[in-house]
Structure 1
């Protein structure tokens, strides 16, 4: 097998060196060369504690044995699997052996400079009892094993090959079961050399100067022109197979070694796996298979291992999404069991456990969880028989793992710490900490928290879904004006935060996107974009979800196609003066789909359908990624239906900047559409006003809002549900009730429904803050209600009054300012948000006074043209000349005058 080597002597490693290490470590073992100046704690330790890599560290020479011994202890305690000591050192061999004997032999290896066979065998014999591996460093210029053993070799070549093979065989015989690695310093490696050395039980050390990554991807074979060998080809050279298709059976396991499924590999797919550091396999029917490319269930590759016979390999991966199997299960062997299954269940329940359930209480009440951990630990200590101990240990594991999941700690994190402890040479004394009385500590904490909790209750008492109530007949003109306007939002501080983000993206492109996404979203991206076309339906989607999206999509297409009138407009304004207008689509558009606290495939449709109908040639989506760097499958499916070019995995101001200015992988667009938070809005306003960006936006936007006009005939349940439908969007959303001539009891019935339904919502914590920032206004008549609504100019206007069937045309004629209107008790705003066909990307914050919601026209532009005959200019020319004279624009007048001279003589 191969043994990659990386030099980290001196200062902090560069980004390229870190990337090389992460790639090399996939092969299982890496030799890291350091010197005395290498900062161990800052540079080496973070690498050595990597859970899935077996890291060997090559030390320099030391002047004395004690200095070497101290440094060895430091490196081994830092997490190195083995240290490799160059031989000889500047002090005696006996003293070196004495120091070696103080360490476990399985943690030590020796580097021998090969001079001749006898000397090498003597050194191996001396150190056999004290080390577990030998690295033979050879400076030969020619290696007889570079060529295959065939009859084509000359007599001289066969002789040299036989001698060389005997020498290595004797070294192996003397070294016994010790691991043997050979460093052919002056030889450029080939796959044949690796295969031949492997047959002699030698691993080949490959310095980074001899390794290439992704050579197969560029169709250059396994060796580059300058003699570097592709790491995937080099790894594959030691593998064997008896399959007629020459594929290697590949067992895929997770971090705990649980088998996820079986795949197949070859040198090309292994090369790609190294290059992408993801699960890449060889499909027997489709070629290279990049796991999760379409389903979003990608695999982060952690390590590749060959079995004892080297005819099967194992991929250790971190599986994301629904799992490995095409049936949307984590494994191809059915459901998990044991502790890994428990971890998966707890992770799921942490996100979606029902309110009031015991698990939800554990996650929400840290005090209860701590008490249970201490209670079960005490019962485990008291347990005596086998079954009772197992029972109590299971309880301790359950509650301890619940604590871990609540704080983002995984089983893999726990195992990593256990592995690090097992590598420590310096042992802890093992004394127990002084006993802490949990009852006393709990009482102290309770006393300390009591005041804070009481203060919190006072603060939260106003967030109980109560409606602030105003009467139009008694409020002053100033109070009414306050209600008509939104709460003032200062843009100065937001702009100060957004501007550096935009400038960072303009200057650093994809690098800035990756850094900002990790900073704001906690997501480390490998790639900024997912390239289209998107051809497959994500496996995570249920048939019910697909059907719902399809229905909504078709309705949106019907409504937005009806808005499209591609025919040119022709008007003869004066005899001989023909004016026309032509419709053209905006070529490149960027659609921003928020992520944040909700998944919004509906927004993807409501932006994407009119862009598609308008005929935009390039549609680019931008949306924040999930925690594993993937995109929600619903958005992926809509991207497929609208023929999106790509998806940018970013949110916030950084996504807007990428669309406006472009990066290495994100194309610059001509118009940006889509809602977002105050940072997104500020970024859109910034780029629109920056002439160098040359980009337009759809509209300014603020928090989502609804205004409900209801009379005594409206069912309180319906009114409350409509108010809450926007309240759950965000804490700064507004839900306004304009109540027409309601009694106190009728008004109270609506308020009670708001409390009842609001407290039952999964997003109740958000909705109650929104309702606290909202209000109700009591009026006497429908006309008075519409007058207030026109002044408020809501994003969504719901009119739920009696006899709406017969009055809807009359009512809608009086509405002057609204993003979208919903008429009648059954016309819920939710239908417009999703599937009725109208668009839900609407002007908010009062901008409905001057903006329309997104429509097909949002993605169109119009070009005017005119054709004027000689008679037409004769009829129009005098008026044009006179108007030009009025404005003192003589050149304008002259352009007509020279022609009029020819016409009239």
Structure 2
């Protein structure tokens, strides 16, 4: 209030009062005392010119003297309807239709469905207007009944209008009448075969590939807690192996890198890095692969570019005190792209695109070389597209160390991102806690994991394929199936599909080790399923459920969610647009997956005017005095003294 000046002789401040939608309710007058009282009570308090004192306006009636909501006339349209429903919720006549609607949620749902159908059938402008009014009425009843304000709905519309998106325009399969009219009859699902006896885990190469099975109601609390644990990582042993590698690269640079690459990858290199611009020969791809990478690049870039906040956050916390937060890119970043058992251009996309979108000035891609001393062309092509300055031909802990400390040819980076095995993770964590490296990492990481929640609408073949898509990552991967009210026959069909599909996979030997470490847990309802899922905090969560989207709001802990029968996890791994570098091992409780913000840092600033410092000065001096920091107090006091003397 120190900066507000009134041009009235009585010193009062004309005040326009608006509701949450920004609709003007009336003109009143405020004083310094009334504003203070408003903040203290969190209610509208103004100054009464007739009574010469504070006025708690609207405490016993509407805002206006005429006992209506606003001085500029009664509310109209949706605002009036919303206000009426709010009052009816509090005091609707006993036995009235409105009271029944508030008390019976199923009645409201039925009416919404009924009116929506009638609106779709309406043809004339008058009918369409009439049915739309009916639908809006019942939709607002549902909002008011659940504490959703009209402003909440408007805010959702405003948020959507700020992003330019091109929706496909498809209806959900259940409501897609155009598709149903032209579709051929769906083939009948094969009858589930009876489940074969399950051999002990870790059986022979020709044995049945099966997950362990439990019933939630038969488990004690302690047994349930044990199921939340991941396969144990012997971190002390791994750290002991990794530290000499990291120390060697830090002390000897490129020479150590070349030795370690020959030792661990079996490749003798003459140089450790490939510098941009990369030669066309290193990026030769067939046209089909190139188009696939280009489309994935487009979708991932579009989603990550939408995450950028174009403007700084500016807040005047009190008159004359302006606080700001603005983003700046992390200048040099290192992206670790695993090699070994799989070629992963997708990881290069997932790490490189948000780094490019964020505006990082130098991007180093580290990935193990092939036996011929080259890097796979798919990774080289993506490195070129993201504007990488170097490709470090190294893997494992030695690659992490080279980026963390720098070598003669490898740039030292400020942050290292990317997945990897236990040795890569250990090296990332080791270099992060070493103050001499001054490097940060994206997140701790463990083996890949997935949790599926499936009900009776799930398709066994789809569920099994999703489980196996993660189980094939490595022998230490873990997948979990939460079966919600499945019949024995439906569950047996899923188990059969797991064995049959796994037996045909090229990486079946890996699956034979990971699947026996995984498990199925039967639960009776969705509340139990969501509770366990949130406690497990999976890297990937797939909802094979009827109306799956309605359960997304209950997800509290997960790296990424795949909603419905037509959303396989594979799409998120490659090309839908979301990022596949996600927290594992339960870290989804407190970490996000890689995103554009991963490659940004946020800086705050504050600017005080003379009047602002005068208003806040005593607060700062008192707090500094309490903490015994006299220099802090004095930095304010010398300025306050100058302000007060003038």
Same fold (TM over 0.5): yes
- Which residue matches 2:261? 517
Q: Deviations over 1:289-313 (max 9, x none)?
A: xxxxxxxxxxxxxxxxxxxxxxxxx
- Which residue matches 1:141? none
1:486 CA drift (Å): 1.3
Q: Deviations over 1:146-189 (max 9, x none)?
A: xxxxxxxxxxxxxxxxxxxxxxxxxxxxxxxxxxxxxxxxxxxx
The equivalences for 1:824-843 within 5 A come to 824-843=564-583
The equivalences for 1:370-389 within 5 A come to none
Which of 354, 375, 386 in structure 2 is aligned with 1:610?
354
In structure 2, relative to structure 1, the CA distance for the partners of 1:545 and 1:630 (3 Å cut) is: same
Provide the rounded CA distance (Å) in 2 between the counterparts of 1:489 and 1:615.
36
1:539 CA drift (Å): 6.0
- Which residue matches 2:617? 877
Which of 552, 558, 561 in structure 2 is aligned with 1:818?
558
- Which residue matches 2:603? 863
Asked if the contact 1:610/1:856 (under 8 Å) is kept, the reply is: yes
In structure 2, relative to structure 1, the CA distance for the partners of 1:538 and 1:525 (3 Å cut) is: closer
Which of 322, 327, 351 in structure 2 is aligned with 1:578?
322
The equivalences for 1:232-251 within 5 A come to none
- Which residue matches 2:14? none
Asked if the contact 1:707/1:738 (under 8 Å) is kept, the reply is: yes
Which of 475, 490, 509 in structure 1 is aligned with 2:219?
475
Provide the rounded CA distance (Å) in 1 between the counterparts of 2:379 and 2:410.
18
- Which residue matches 2:475? 731
Q: Do structure 1's residue 798 and structure 2's residue 542 form an aligned pair?
A: yes
1:463 CA drift (Å): 6.7
1:569 CA drift (Å): 1.3
SS of residue in 1 equivalent to 2:218? coil
- Which residue matches 2:531? 787
Provide the rounded CA distance (Å) in 2 between the counterparts of 1:458 and 1:528.
41
1:462 CA drift (Å): 10
1:551 CA drift (Å): 0.2
1:803 CA drift (Å): 2.6
SS of residue in 2 equivalent to 1:460? coil
1:581 CA drift (Å): 1.3
1:802 CA drift (Å): 1.2
- Which residue matches 2:307? 563
Asked if the contact 1:704/1:844 (under 8 Å) is kept, the reply is: yes
Give the gaps of 5 or more residues in structure 2: 1-199
In structure 2, relative to structure 1, the CA distance for the partners of 1:457 and 1:468 (3 Å cut) is: closer
Provide the rounded CA distance (Å) in 2 between the counterparts of 1:644 and 1:872.
46
Q: Do structure 1's residue 628 and structure 2's residue 372 form an aligned pair?
A: yes
- Superposed CA RMSD in Å reads 1.5
Q: Do structure 1's residue 639 and structure 2's residue 383 form an aligned pair?
A: yes
Provide the rounded CA distance (Å) in 2 between the counterparts of 1:789 and 1:782.
10
Detail structure 1 runs of 4+ shifted over 6 Å in the superposition: none
The equivalences for 1:379-778 within 5 A come to 459-460=203-204, 464-534=208-278, 536=280, 538=282, 540-778=284-522
Asked if the contact 2:283/2:381 (under 8 Å) is kept, the reply is: no
Provide the rounded CA distance (Å) in 2 between the counterparts of 1:832 and 1:459.
33
The equivalences for 1:108-119 within 5 A come to none
Provide the rounded CA distance (Å) in 2 between the counterparts of 1:554 and 1:870.
50
SS of residue in 1 equivalent to 2:420? coil
Asked if the contact 2:242/2:426 (under 8 Å) is kept, the reply is: yes
In structure 2, relative to structure 1, the CA distance for the partners of 1:755 and 1:555 (3 Å cut) is: same
Q: Deviations over 1:212-262 (max 9, x none)?
A: xxxxxxxxxxxxxxxxxxxxxxxxxxxxxxxxxxxxxxxxxxxxxxxxxxx
- Which residue matches 1:326? none
Asked if the contact 1:702/1:844 (under 8 Å) is kept, the reply is: yes
SS of residue in 2 equivalent to 1:515? helix
Provide the rounded CA distance (Å) in 1 between the counterparts of 2:594 and 2:456.
34
SS of residue in 1 equivalent to 2:333? strand
1:732 CA drift (Å): 0.2
- Which residue matches 2:584? 844
SS of residue in 2 equivalent to 1:626? coil
Provide the rounded CA distance (Å) in 1 between the counterparts of 2:462 and 2:201.
30
Q: Deviations over 1:189-212 (max 9, x none)?
A: xxxxxxxxxxxxxxxxxxxxxxxx
Asked if the contact 1:818/1:848 (under 8 Å) is kept, the reply is: yes
Provide the rounded CA distance (Å) in 2 between the counterparts of 1:851 and 1:497.
27
1:817 CA drift (Å): 0.4
In structure 2, relative to structure 1, the CA distance for the partners of 1:782 and 1:537 (3 Å cut) is: farther
Asked if the contact 1:592/1:673 (under 8 Å) is kept, the reply is: yes
In structure 2, relative to structure 1, the CA distance for the partners of 1:761 and 1:458 (3 Å cut) is: closer
The equivalences for 1:157-176 within 5 A come to none
Provide the rounded CA distance (Å) in 2 between the counterparts of 1:535 and 1:461.
44
SS of residue in 2 equivalent to 1:672? strand
Provide the rounded CA distance (Å) in 1 between the counterparts of 2:605 and 2:389.
32
SS of residue in 1 equivalent to 2:468? helix
Q: Which has the higher contact order (CA 8 A, sep 6+)?
A: 2
In structure 2, relative to structure 1, the CA distance for the partners of 1:892 and 1:539 (3 Å cut) is: closer
1:538 CA drift (Å): 4.5
Provide the rounded CA distance (Å) in 2 between the counterparts of 1:566 and 1:482.
45
Asked if the contact 2:304/2:357 (under 8 Å) is kept, the reply is: yes
1:536 CA drift (Å): 2.7
Provide the rounded CA distance (Å) in 2 between the counterparts of 1:507 and 1:658.
10
1:459 CA drift (Å): 4.5
Provide the rounded CA distance (Å) in 1 between the counterparts of 2:337 and 2:208.
31
Q: Deviations over 1:121-154 (max 9, x none)?
A: xxxxxxxxxxxxxxxxxxxxxxxxxxxxxxxxxx
Provide the rounded CA distance (Å) in 2 between the counterparts of 1:835 and 1:458.
35
1:487 CA drift (Å): 2.6
Provide the rounded CA distance (Å) in 2 between the counterparts of 1:678 and 1:602.
20
Provide the rounded CA distance (Å) in 1 between the counterparts of 2:203 and 2:298.
47
- Which residue matches 1:23? none
1:883 CA drift (Å): 1.2
1:537 CA drift (Å): 6.7
1:781 CA drift (Å): 1.2
Provide the rounded CA distance (Å) in 1 between the counterparts of 2:341 and 2:399.
17
- Which residue matches 1:220? none
1:566 CA drift (Å): 3.1
1:474 CA drift (Å): 1.0
* Structure number with bigger Rg: 1
In structure 2, relative to structure 1, the CA distance for the partners of 1:458 and 1:696 (3 Å cut) is: closer
SS of residue in 2 equivalent to 1:473? helix
In structure 2, relative to structure 1, the CA distance for the partners of 1:742 and 1:537 (3 Å cut) is: farther
Count matched residues: 446
In structure 2, relative to structure 1, the CA distance for the partners of 1:539 and 1:640 (3 Å cut) is: closer
Which of 574, 583, 593 in structure 2 is aligned with 1:853?
593
